[in-house]
């Protein structure tokens, strides 16, 4: 009988622990934060401070190189598969698309997703590791890169 009580305590403890872990995961999913609470919010004005002719970035921007960031913008896919986009340009507004002259390179961010995402036609948040590096594409040069972790609709 004593053995049965001890084993039941272990089972109850395991169930409670499992419920706590599942509860935390559900709360994180429903909160809409994508688990990136520590991401530093970047602003297009900050990116615009980089001199795209000389490639010189201000110290505040250089300090973000290699950091987890989030940046709002509009997606310009660089691939034909609209359901599994792994590479795209992020631009500050919907008018900065491929049908008009491209914006300056300090207003374009090349995004390489770790896992494909759907194409979005509305504003999005991109979460990932920020790099100051020139990337060339057929749609224009980008002065920055984000190794994308997640994309979600802008709220």
Residue 149 CA to residue 34 CA, distance in Å, equals 10
Q: Are strands 68-77 and 40-41 parallel, antiparallel or unpaired?
A: parallel
What is the per-residue pLDDT for 155?
A: 84
Q: Which CATH superfamily, name and number, covers 40-153?
A: Protein of unknown function (DUF3299) (2.40.50.870)
| Backbone angles phi and psi of 132, in degrees to 5 | -95, 105
Q: Is the pLDDT of residue 133 over 80?
A: yes
Query: Could you tell me what percentage of the chain is helix, strand and coil, using 3-state DSSP and rounding each to the nearest 5?
Result: 25, 35, 35
| 85-91 average pLDDT score | 94
Under the banding of pLDDT at 50, 70 and 90, the label for residue 26 is very low
| 89-93 average pLDDT score | 93
What is the per-residue pLDDT for 27?
A: 44
Mean pLDDT over each residue of the chain, to the nearest integer: 83
What is the per-residue pLDDT for 30?
A: 41
Q: What does the domain layout of the chain look like in residue ranges?
A: 1-31, 40-153
Select from 144, 150, 153 the least CA-distant residue to 91: 144
Percent of the chain at pLDDT > 90 equals 52
Name the more confident of 14 and 64: 64
């Amino acid at each position: 009988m004593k053995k049965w009580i001890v084993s039941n305590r272990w089972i109850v403890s395991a169930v409670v622990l499992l419920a706590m872990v599942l509860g935390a995961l559900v709360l994180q999913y429903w909160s809409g934060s994508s688990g990136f609470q520590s991401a530093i919010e970047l602003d297009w004005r900050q990116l615009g401070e980089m001199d795209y002719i000389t490639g010189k970035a201000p110290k505040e921007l250089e300090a973000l190189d290699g950091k987890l960031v989030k940046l709002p913008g509009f997606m310009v896919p660089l691939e034909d598969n609209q359901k599994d986009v792994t590479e795209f340009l992020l631009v500050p507004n919907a008018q900065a698309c491929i049908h008009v002259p491209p914006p300056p390179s300090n207003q374009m961010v090349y995004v390489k997703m770790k896992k494909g995402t759907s194409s979005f036609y509305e504003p999005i948040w991109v979460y990932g590791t920020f790099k100051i590096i020139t990337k060339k594409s057929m749609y224009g040069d980008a002065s920055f890169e984000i190794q994308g972790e997640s994309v979600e609709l802008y709220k």
